[in-house]
Amino acid sequence: ELLSELVGFFQPKGLKGRRVVITAGPTSEPIDPVRVLTNRSSGKMGYALAQAAHEAGAQVVLVSGPTALPCPYGVLRIPVESAAQMHAAVMAETPAADVFIAVAAVADWHVVNASSSKIKKTPEGTPPALQFATNPDILAEVARLPDGPYCVGFAAETENLLGHAEDKRQRKGVPLLVGNLAQRAMNADDTELILFDDQGHRALPAMPKLQAARKLILEISGRLGR
Amino acid sequence: ELLSELVGFFQPKGLKGRRVVITAGPTSEPIDPVRVLTNRSSGKMGYALAQAAHEAGAQVVLVSGPTALPCPYGVLRIPVESAAQMHAAVMAETPAADVFIAVAAVADWHVVNASSSKIKKTPEGTPPALQFATNPDILAEVARLPDGPYCVGFAAETENLLGHAEDKRQRKGVPLLVGNLAQRAMNADDTELILFDDQGHRALPAMPKLQAARKLILEISGRLGR
């Protein structure tokens, strides 16, 4: 704990004076006041990146879906629940940002006909007819901003990571995309990241998420100068 | 903290030698390896009851959906995710139990066509066609067991609590049902409980969940003798 703080204190200050916006955790899409549609995401990787960016000297805004994690020291957290709330918070914060790192597992859909009172189970057990609509693509929208921040995406995939991640990088229009295998990374403390950019891809060895976050922040600060 | 432990130590031992099974938290129903359907439930009330039952001298088994809470001292926790897993764990534990308290916010439906790999978003953004099926009614099933435990249910409602809760008590066939207002109790540390039995209903004042749990355990142990 103390050692980790010391190590953090002596991290290179590659982001000094930079403003970094990071999204983390899942989003939670209401079905009714009790039921939600969400993603399995502990928020650990996004919180580790927020800590690492702070250690590197940045002003950090962490837009976080519901998680049980404590806010890293020195980081400003904006708590949100739904993808629409996350979208609004990010669009308010990113125009002034130098870096945007989208780590949150944003739900792809929300329920259009969410109920304001708890849906009762019918005696026949008929499930409610839910209508879904696509959520805004926060990362792609920030990447399209004129004079927007340097954008980094994350892709958690369960299979064909190499193909899906590079596809995603191009579809979102971001210079750097970080891939990992969802079944390995989810709720784990270790992670194995693969960096995708226009030069190709490069795998980092498996390591604790905070250590991986520090490596990634080094990569990002190196790219900002270019 | 220390005071709370002392208070706990001196609670009446009304459940000495009794075996109590409690469910707590939400259940999480997979849509694919990343996405889930779940309920807003912190698990706090169920965990407080597990602690209070242990303080009262019981052997406690806590069948818990995903929560961020630490397991109360002296309590055996069985972690589960889906309603089907919770059902299996409860049906294995309750035949030997004296009391069953169903606090978990069990999902009413699960996704029949859950995917074993992450569902890709289509370019058109078409949401996946999800098919839902009703989950087993764990409380009603335990209440129907011959020589089964004394059963206590919980009802979190957003409106018409009095009507819905007494309906639920009769439908589930349990002697005691505890109602609360979902919007007041969810993720809160305080709660306001209303007890429903064949004599009618009685409201307890608002108080911290652990204190409410101790009161409820007293009520339950008093009823076991009858």
Question: Could you give all domains of chain B from N- to C-terminal order, each with its CATH number?
Answer: 17-116+130-225 (3.40.50.10300)
CA distances from B68 to A70, B25, B30, B49, B65 (A): 12, 10, 19, 16, 10
For residue A26, give the DSSP letter.
B
Those residues of chain B that have pLDDT short of 50 are none
Torsion of CA A224, A174, A193, A79, to 10 degrees: 90
Q: Are A97 and A19 in contact (CB under 8 A)?
A: yes
Give 10-residue mean pLDDT values along chain A (226 residues): 78 93 96 90 94 96 94 95 96 96 94 86 72 92 95 89 90 94 73 93 92 96 83
Nearest residue to B195 via CA among B186, B183, B204, B205: B204
Any B CB within 8 A of A109 CB: yes
Any B CB within 8 A of A182 CB: yes
Q: B117-153 burial, b for 16+ CB within 10 Å, e for fewer?
A: ebbebeeeeebbebebeebbbbbbebbeeeeebbbbb
For residue B181, what pLDDT is reported? 80
CA distance A109 to A112: 9
Is B158 in Cβ contact with A34 (below 8 Å)? yes
Q: Are A51 and A4 in contact (CB under 8 A)?
A: no
For residue B125, what pLDDT is reported? 66
Is A132 in Cβ contact with B33 (below 8 Å)? no
Question: Would you call B43 helix, strand, or coil by DSSP?
Answer: coil
Identify all chain B residues contacting A41, using CB atoms and an 8 Å cutoff: 34
Amino acid in position B178: V
For residue A121, what pLDDT is reported? 75
